[in-house]
A and B are shown apart, each in its own frame.
Chain A
């Protein structure tokens, strides 16, 4: 048997084995930490925001391979987006960018969406003036 079989597809395995943007941001402008009620995993996301745009993002995850890959991919995807764009971010984007996740593992990508939104909420709380740029409906759209 020379082939290596993997539980997840190549992209997911790559993000799991070589996660991008892993760690904390020393002077983060927003930090969010959420847990998955389904399995008990925890994800933390830190953002750097300049002029209403996310310039850097980092994650830390206590969770399965798919949760680690999802958080890695999510941080890649949101860099460069405006706060408003980021508030519309959906886990489906992560799933698509990863080339799909097993059905039972979709909730891991939801965790990434929620960690991001919690970090954005934290940013808005710390920078109330930024709230005016954000439609109120989007600001409260925390998860599902």
Chain B
């Protein structure tokens, strides 16, 4: 492997990184303001901060995706210039993203080999194969090499992403919310292995996360950003979770979770009867799913990801045609068409809003008007669109839901991940809601936003909305749901009122024992 040989022996040793006075302005908005952080060689460093604090911007500057307005970076105490990602790779700095960048139809081995900058035009697979196996010997990560990546679980894919960086001989890894798509067990496995490599001095890790659990369990040191400034750092062992959260949000009060209002004898609102659907490979993904949600009830659907949850949400939101089955609201047949969505007041949102619910290049104001653009006042008479009520509405929502955006005109793709989520939430939840369909609503949100969004969902329930909540986070379901259903291999395998079950029983059902 030319890449590995091109560096002197011992170059795999962990490197240290420092930024000095890093500042990045996007037009009038200063996303990073004089940020100096220090990541020691061989340490596991966590980067914390609320949504929009500037975490992703900081690491993108280090990776050469953005050019800082001012400030510099030091690698092993030597000043370096990083004009582009290639330069970062040459210095041994690699990045793993929240979302996968692998080619799904290729095998793990193929993905690794083509990722190299010096892949020859004709690949000698036998030789590459040997080299790969020799390389795998040196790492603790084990991934099936010959399966198409599309057949791997989320945990295996994330391991492969990390493996790819190691294969490219990067010795400083930046991870931007690497565990948001993993189950807690998968996250533990991946982070545990990385931790082992940092302890052995082979690797330095800088990880962005919103999960304190991961910080206390795996990180040595932590740096906290707030509104673009570095507001604190230190050894994890010297800090409590309380200290860290106070650094993140200052004295801002966290929204109390709303009290659950008691309902009794509410009418049936949403009924799903005998729903079947196929996945993208035309294999059965949903089989005879039956669900009932009453007014003022949150039905939580738990399950390990990839058991048909996303297909269920897609069918309910009109992104996938069911092969059989029906949906009823108030006893009347329902299909996800705009007219019926409006008359039955059906709303919803899910994870990855830029992929599922927003148009990345349209402005924040336009994205916030998707539900209302064809109604008074934005459309004062049939067919006409009037921009000023649209802007006014957007300004109101931005203020009410505290969306951080430079202006209503900013393309929504430029907002931080958490703020895109907030903007979409504001759009879907601000009207009168009778049926709410949500999937993993808190992916990628900081803890204050998580508390707030869960409170909003509870508010809707208390007001009498029927809520269908699909979540891979069991804690979220335990906190919010009135009734829990477990989905496994495309079927509902377990249903119970929340007060007559517990975590262990649900976990058991999720693992497929029923």
Asked whether A and B interact, the reply is no
Residues of B within 8 A of A (CB): none
Residues of A within 8 A of B (CB): none
